[in-house]
Structure 1
Amino acid sequence: MSLLQNLPSYSTLFGAYASLSGTVTLLQSTVNLVPQPIRNFVWSQTQKYLLTNHSSSTSTFKIREFYGLERNLLFDAAKVYLPNLPSASLMKVDVARVRSHKNLSFALCEGEREGEREVVVEDTFRNIKVTWYLIRSQNQVKNFRENPFISSSENSYFELCFNSQNRDEVISDYLQHVLNTSASLTQKDRELRLFTYPSKYESNWTSTFLQHPASFDTIAMEPDEKQKIIDDLKLFQSSKEFYQGIGKAWKRGYLFYGPPGTGKSSLIVAIAKFLKYDVYDLDLSSIRSNSELRNVVLSISPKSVLVIEDIDCYKEVQDRSKKIGIMNNDPPLDTGKKNKGSACTLSGILNAIDGLWSGCGEERIIILTTNHKDKIDPALIRPGRIDKQIELSYLKPMAFPELASNYLRVRDGEHPLLEEIKGLLEHTEVTPASVAEELLWRRRCSVDHALGEVVNFLKRKKMEEVKEGTGTLAKSNRRKSKRRKSSQY
């Protein structure tokens, strides 16, 4: 009853209605004065605004670190692209300054709590608003360390959220924009990296910056041999269509063989720098199965150099015919190092390098090194798997001027002792490393004194070889003696 008593009077209600009706009539007459095309435009924009800002339909893309067994290039691109956005102040970043890198290093912070969904950054592209999230399920970390390739859902991933009406533009334009921008930023601040497997704390590739100073300008090789390698690399880089046309995977295999200290590791670095490829150093003794080896090789990015050093030290790849000799109580293989064991087999290694799965990556260089080429099973280094075998032997006469230039800043033809040293090298077996060691400790002396000490060093080595019956001169005399004996019969 009290509610009815508080209602306004009929005269008050009628006055309010009359006022509202007059306002509506006035607005209607005002709108009628606006031309029809303008009214249509204003109405369409109003509808678009309401739909864009108040629609409850949102699409979400998950961008995982791995897609099946391969790395997701879009995931890697996002990690480079997002920190460089104008709105990057919204996100948390890890900042570091390491001695091996001249600039500050930035990385996205991942969720610290299990299943944490954290806004990383917001972006606008052609009036399309998107939001990026970075998620990692922490309860899967142990499984990831045991095998990072079990399931892509167990690793880090991004969530990209946007209005469903913009789905086609996000797919066709925005994601390609992320890839292109990331590639441009990466190339701008490009520094080669050295990867190793496994890392100290988990079964995954870990990396640092490639700091080795070697290059084709500094390694001690005969100029003709060095140029042949450079020409071969140039031809490989420009042969994508050729490899596709002949039905071969776009990769090239090298075997570097020769005694220790002949520059095999330096040549690897020189090749990587020349091609601008990252280096992946694989220790086969850490591989637990053929499937893990296959997955590890698949996770290597394009434009890379895969290196397996001292391949002869792994018992799985040693010559099977010589293993039969061991069973017959013959002396064991002497590799100079303890034979390393691995859970993978020779068949698994062959398939990883040159099997069906080898075609899943492109533009790769595979390099095997050994001090004992004859100890390796021929199946591993046959043509097709290893395309080019490069012997890195003792220091050649035409290679010494490179060492003299690097250590003493004296060029070929600028000092008379250079010719004497070349003559001694014709008949003396010394490694580039041993001569470089001599120059390293003599570099503060005069050029005359330093080169004189190299001459004395080579003469001592020559006398030792003659006394022991080794060296190129002794071998040459033995070959001549055999030829004379055979001609007498």
Structure 2
Amino acid sequence: MMKDAFTQLGSVIASVMFVWAIFQQYFPYELRRSIEKYSQRLLSLVYPYMQIKFNEFTGERLMRSEAYSHIEDYLSSNTSMQAKRLKADIVRNSQSLALSMDDHEEVADEFEGVKLWWASGKNISKMQSLSFFPVTDEKRFYTLTFHKRHRDLILGQYLKHVIREGKAIKLTNRQRKLYTNSGSHWRNVLFEHPATFQTLAMDPEKKKEIIDDLVAFSKAENFYAEVGRAWKRGYLLYGPPGTGKSTMIAAMANLLGYDLYDLELTAVKDNTELRKLLIETTGKSIIVIEDIDCSVDLTAQRRNTKKKEDNEEKDPMQKLAKEETDSNNSKVTLSGLLNFVDGLWSACGGEKLIVFTTNHVEKLDPALIRKGRMDKHVEMPYCSFEAFKVLARNYLKIDSHHLFEKIHGLLEEINMTPADVAENLMPKSVHVNAETYLLSLIEALGEAKRANRMKAEEEAKEKESLGKGEEEKEKESSTTKETGTSKPVTNEATEDM
């Protein structure tokens, strides 16, 4: 019975193939197209599903489709557990192994209670080649299948959801970069700084305030669009050297997953190059200008311009020397930097933080650091007791010790930077004895206290000696005023002789 059934099935298939071959060869193309069109319409009445095809390349393989890339990232994260056959590869600039569906594999997905299916496909076609071996062209694609009654939901919300999630997954998995400028171009290396807010030596309340502000900024795209502002925010970090300004920037980048652009103003020729560098930056990035008061001569630039021009008119040689100096130095002006921070071009890319650091905030032009340009001013102070406890936890793995009270009192009297405190707590051997390093810190604080006392005594003595000198001068001047100046008495008789 089974043998007879297979024999009949083979005969039916052979008959169908014969009829199809005759149909293809002898029937006109227009008739065949009409029959296919009406057959598809007839099939659609009984087959209620729709399909959307997403090709890997667009424009005759000149460019990889962004939609295909985002769908690939989405499927690799959300549906790779369902697929029985996967492809694995280490993608460039990625931190981990990337998994994706193998060719001709199908997985299911669900969105708001609606079930749909994704399938990966590949078309292979032979191409003409001058070489002996034939060349094949592979065209990959994804096909989305869903019921036609959910057409509006899939074409609207679902596809937007897939693209948005794919972008987010790509940003999460990518290896972030640290850029620096060489003239008007950026060069980059991998950004691997380990700093986090958990290890940052800072008062916990102040730290939480900064974290909340950064997280709120990263989620405020719609808010910035509604109020008509570019999606960017300025941070001014100021304080003595060694208080952790650069570490704070690295922690900000690690918290938000942003790239870092370290802008060296002295390497920028003029305002035009500065604008070009800004255009080349991408979204989700932090643009940093460290020690901005030392980068170029921006301090009180407007106030000193007229004075320089007057001096040049009086001294032509000074004007010539200035022209020679300007040809070698950066010609970035304060106006150009202000336009860089919040001008029309500053909205390019979106989702950017602009961070300035300085050791002398009083030297900066008020127009540069006003609210709207530098929205949040963060003072990086000397090491407090709360910051010390973070460092002790980082370096010595302790949260309390009987020496903490003494260190607390010394830190209230002595100004010591977190960098100096960390150096005294840094383990110098494999076996860490916490008390040894705490005593080392106490000794360093004691030496700093004695040095401050000696300096204060020397200043007091110098002031006292200056005061005595001034008193003696006042006494001499008062004596001169009382006695007056007398001329030598001349003998008139002697003169007559």
TM-score (norm 2): 0.58
Could you tell me which residue of structure 2 aligns to residue 346 of structure 1?
Answer: 334
Matched, 1:283 2:264: yes
Aligned length: 342
Could you tell me which residue of structure 1 aligns to residue 421 of structure 2?
Answer: 435
Matched, 1:380 2:364: no
Change (3 A) 1:245 1:84: closer
Q: 1:122 is matched by which residue type in structure 2?
A: K
More deviation, 189-198/178-187: 178-187
Matched, 1:399 2:387: yes
Change (3 A) 1:445 1:126: closer
Query: Which residue among 345, 351, 359 is the counterpart of 1:357?
Result: 345
Could you tell me which residue of structure 1 aligns to residue 222 of structure 2?
Answer: 241
More deviation, 187-196/433-442: 187-196
CA contact (8 A) 2:96 2:173 kept: no
What is the correspondence of 1:12-51 to structure 2 with a 5 Å cutoff? 41-42=35-36
Could you tell me which residue of structure 2 aligns to residue 461 of structure 1?
Answer: 448
Q: After TM superposition, give the deviation of residue 209 of structure 1 in Å.
A: 2.2
Could you tell me which residue of structure 1 aligns to residue 436 of structure 2?
Answer: 449
Q: Which runs of 5+ in 1 are unaligned?
A: 1-23, 47-58, 65-73, 87-93, 105-117, 128-171, 330-338, 475-489
CA distance in 2, matches of 1:358, 1:177: 29
Could you tell me which residue of structure 2 aligns to residue 16 of structure 1?
Answer: none
CA distance in 2, matches of 1:285, 1:232: 31
CA contact (8 A) 2:269 2:329 kept: no
Matched, 1:124 2:110: no
Q: After TM superposition, give the deviation of residue 78 of structure 1 in Å.
A: 7.8
Tell me which structure has the larger Cα radius of gyration.
Answer: 2
Residue by residue over 1:462-483, the C-alpha shift from the partner in whole angstroms, topping out at 9 and shown as x without a partner, is: 111121139xxx9xxxxxxxxx
Secondary structure class of the residue paired with 1:469:
helix
Change (3 A) 1:277 1:427: same
CA contact (8 A) 1:77 1:183 kept: no
Change (3 A) 1:245 1:390: same
CA distance in 2, matches of 1:197, 1:121: 39
CA distance in 2, matches of 1:325, 1:435: 46
CA contact (8 A) 2:90 2:96 kept: no
What is the correspondence of 1:246-257 to structure 2 with a 5 Å cutoff? 246-257=227-238
Q: After TM superposition, give the deviation of residue 41 of structure 1 in Å.
A: 3.7
Could you tell me which residue of structure 1 aligns to residue 280 of structure 2?
Answer: 299
Change (3 A) 1:124 1:101: closer
Secondary structure class of the residue paired with 1:259:
coil
CA distance in 2, matches of 1:427, 1:326: 44
Could you tell me which residue of structure 2 aligns to residue 60 of structure 1?
Answer: 59
CA contact (8 A) 2:202 2:387 kept: yes
Residue by residue over 1:18-68, the C-alpha shift from the partner in whole angstroms, topping out at 9 and shown as x without a partner, is: xxxxxx9xx89xx99xxxx9996458789xxxxxxxxxxxx937978xxxx
Could you tell me which residue of structure 2 aligns to residue 371 of structure 1?
Answer: 359
CA distance in 1, matches of 2:241, 2:449: 19
Residue by residue over 1:345-370, the C-alpha shift from the partner in whole angstroms, topping out at 9 and shown as x without a partner, is: 21111111101111233211110111
Q: After TM superposition, give the deviation of residue 96 of structure 1 in Å.
A: 9.9
Q: 2:380 is matched by which residue type in structure 1?
A: L
Residue by residue over 1:399-440, the C-alpha shift from the partner in whole angstroms, topping out at 9 and shown as x without a partner, is: 1000000000001xx211112111100111111111111111
Matched, 1:425 2:411: yes
More deviation, 280-289/366-375: 280-289
What is the correspondence of 1:311-326 to structure 2 with a 5 Å cutoff? 311-320=292-301, 323=304
Could you tell me which residue of structure 1 aligns to residue 211 of structure 2?
Answer: 230
Change (3 A) 1:398 1:187: same
CA contact (8 A) 1:316 1:341 kept: no
Change (3 A) 1:122 1:81: farther
CA contact (8 A) 1:316 1:342 kept: no
CA contact (8 A) 1:85 1:123 kept: no
Could you tell me which residue of structure 2 aligns to residue 482 of structure 1?
Answer: none
TM-score (norm 1): 0.59
CA distance in 2, matches of 1:234, 1:468: 45
CA contact (8 A) 1:397 1:422 kept: yes
Could you tell me which residue of structure 1 aligns to residue 464 of structure 2?
Answer: none
Q: C-alpha root-mean-square deviation of aligned residues, in Å? A: 4.6
Matched, 1:259 2:276: no
Could you tell me which residue of structure 2 aligns to residue 17 of structure 1?
Answer: none
CA distance in 2, matches of 1:292, 1:408: 47
Q: State the identity as a percent.
A: 39
CA distance in 1, matches of 2:284, 2:250: 14
